[in-house]
């Protein structure tokens, strides 16, 4: 049974690499008469603030050796942490060996992750693998019935408040919470070391994969009200929805977060000013152009029905004029790197609209890993950072595409990378004019996209569907000519596709018979 008693804090050991708020904590402990043991820079910082501190070497009677590799690995430290205060044999051993109890452990580990991220050499990374710190953290966490362990300066306030409220003692529920957090920290630390060592060994995938994240918040529910959910932040730093600042609006839902991430990752693909509108993780309109207001209207024109209640992402800071355009219809979330005062004022008039500012754009070609859960396990793969340039295209048709067609094909193919498979994307003049997503048949994706473009044209008061004179992009090869011919029927004059079908010759012949241009990319973008 877990212990429910309060633990009086009489002696603490502090050894932190992150020294933020160290003085505040030290003063609080000293104010409650706590004896503080410390090492190295932590001891110096405490002493400089006139906080009484005892060097660990003076406490153990054994000096630091091996350039500090051995300093806290001593029975007087670990015995003081691990001793069960209600166990007669443990108490007898403490008395026999003159081991004093240590009731509080405050530890930040050597900055291994930051050292690796800085590009440091192998030896420097190894030296930044903490040994004594994890050993003390795990010992204290195991003995949380009697000992408290703090690994995050963010918990100092709770510790100080509890000490003040309990006459210098820490309650059992706080000790248990801190212990769980401590084990999570050492697990994440070991996972980072495992990943780094595996990489140094040339292994793309470690034998054991450890994924860790810090809980940023518990959501109201998951995809549906009967599902629970939470947001975690972890892995390599990447500007995006997880770490964005929410300027206004009600709480974000699970679906809001997923859709906003999809929108922002899509719009990050383009160097030119761009807008993406997302609904249910699929784009319903994407456009690029010099003027963001015109670009937004071009994106919304593609599917104005689906755009209602959607997610809008921009790869440029928002201004007042763009905010006015976006708020013409109901919009759930707007995400961008920044927004000026005028834009914020406009959005403030729509209290239900969530405004997220990221401070930057993610690199669409940066490496990363994606996890997909399975029953009894999970799949791990590289994120799709594939990118096609004009030089990589292979023209396979008799008709040569124009420069504008090539530009639109590259745009459409990039958008298709972010659409659920099977997909067909029609584009014209740097804007999508029809998107067919998530269909079991590529032919149906092409038909749906063309049908929706007709509805969009009608909504815009135009007599001809938007796909007339467009280009078409397919996320994977056409297994038969029928999908290609469907795009021709919709009005496409050029098609971009990966190629690689056993029937490529038939598809190329169909393109030639129809008089359209076709290029192969050699790269597909399935998105399941």
In this structure, what DSSP letter does residue 154 have?
G
Catalytic residue among 19, 32, 44, 142: 142
DSSP readout, 361-391? ---TTS--EEEEEETTEEEEEE-------GG
Taking the C-alpha atoms of residue 380 and residue 235, their distance in angstroms, rounded to an integer, is 14
- How are beta strands 11-15 and 104-107 bridged, if at all? parallel
Treating both helix axes as pointing N-terminal to C-terminal, what angle do 132-142 and 172-200 enclose, rounded to 10 degrees? Answer: 140
Residue length, the chain?
528
| Cα(318)–Cα(115) distance, integer angstroms | 36
314: which strand partners?
275
Alpha carbon distance 250, 15 (integer Å): 40
> What are the C-alpha distances in Å from 9 to residues 27, 102, 141, 206, 525?
14, 8, 15, 41, 58
CA separation for the pair 147, 105 (Å, rounded)? 8
Q: Are 179 and 149 in contact (CB under 8 A)?
A: yes
Alpha carbons 399 and 135: distance in angstroms, whole number: 69
Coil, strand or helix at 223:
coil
19 is catalytic: no
Is there a catalytic annotation at residue 87?
A: no
The Cβ of residue 14 has, within 10 Å, a number of other Cβ atoms equal to 26
Query: Of the listed 280, 387, 398, 451, which one is catalytic?
Result: 280
- How many C-beta neighbours within 10 Å does residue 525 have? 22
> Which residues participate in catalysis according to the annotation?
142, 280
């Amino acid at each position: 049974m877990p212990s429910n008693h309060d633990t009086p804090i009489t002696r603490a050991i502090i050894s932190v690499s992150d020294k933020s708020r160290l003085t505040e904590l030290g003063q609080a402990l000293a104010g409650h008469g706590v004896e503080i043991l410390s090492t190295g820079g932590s001891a110096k910082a405490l002493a400089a603030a006139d906080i009484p501190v005892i060097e660990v070497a003076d406490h153990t009677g054994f000096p630091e050796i091996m350039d500090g590799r051995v300093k806290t690995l001593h029975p007087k430290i670990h015995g003081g942490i691990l001793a069960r205060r209600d166990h007669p044999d443990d108490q007898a051993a403490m008395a026999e060996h003159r081991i004093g109890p240590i009731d509080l452990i405050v530890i930040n580990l050597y900055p291994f992750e930051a050292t690796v991220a800085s590009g440091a050499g192998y030896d420097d990374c190894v030296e930044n693998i903490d040994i004594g710190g994890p050993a003390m953290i795990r010992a204290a966490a195991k003995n949380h019935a009697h000992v408290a362990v703090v690994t995050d300066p963010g918990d100092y306030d709770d510790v100080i408040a509890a000490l003040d409220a309990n006459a210098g003692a820490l309650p059992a529920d706080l000790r248990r919470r801190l212990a769980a957090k401590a084990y999570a920290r050492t697990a994440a630390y070991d996972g980072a070391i495992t990943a780094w060592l595996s990489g140094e060994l040339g292994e793309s995938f470690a034998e054991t994969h450890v994924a860790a994240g810090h809980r940023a918040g518990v959501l109201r529910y998951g995809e549906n009200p009967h599902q629970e959910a939470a947001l975690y932040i972890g892995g390599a730093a990447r500007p995006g929805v997880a770490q964005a600042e929410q300027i206004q609006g009600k709480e974000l839902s699970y679906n809001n977060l997923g859709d906003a991430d999809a929108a922002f990752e899509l719009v990050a693909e383009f160097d030119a000013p761009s807008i993406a509108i997302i609904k249910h993780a699929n784009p319903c309109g994407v456009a690029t152009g010099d003027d963001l207001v015109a670009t937004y209207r071009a994106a919304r024109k593609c599917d104005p029905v689906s755009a209602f209640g959607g997610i809008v992402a921009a790869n440029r800071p928002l201004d007042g004029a763009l905010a006015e355009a976006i708020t013409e219809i109901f919009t759930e979330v707007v995400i961008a790197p920044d927004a000026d005062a005028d834009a914020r004022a406009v959005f403030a008039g729509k209290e239900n609209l969530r405004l997220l500012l990221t401070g930057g754009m993610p690199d669409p070609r940066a490496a990363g890993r994606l996890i997909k859960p399975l029953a009894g396990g999970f799949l791990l793969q590289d994120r799709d950072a594939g990118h096609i340039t004009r030089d990589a295209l292979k023209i396979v048709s008799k008709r040569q595409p124009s420069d504008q067609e090539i530009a639109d094909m590259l745009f459409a193919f990039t958008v298709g990378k972010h659409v659920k498979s099977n997909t067909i994307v029609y584009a014209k003049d740097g804007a999508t004019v029809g998107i067919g997503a998530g269909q079991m048949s590529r032919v149906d994706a092409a038909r749906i996209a063309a049908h929706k473009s007709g509805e969009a044209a009608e909504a815009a008061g135009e007599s001809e569907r938007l796909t007339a004179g467009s280009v078409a992009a397919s996320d994977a090869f056409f297994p038969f000519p029928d999908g290609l011919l469907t795009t021709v029927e919709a009005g496409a004059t050029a098609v971009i596709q990966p190629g690689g079908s056993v029937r490529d010759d038939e598809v190329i012949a169909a393109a030639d018979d129809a008089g359209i241009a076709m290029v192969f990319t050699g790269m597909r973008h399935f998105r399941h």
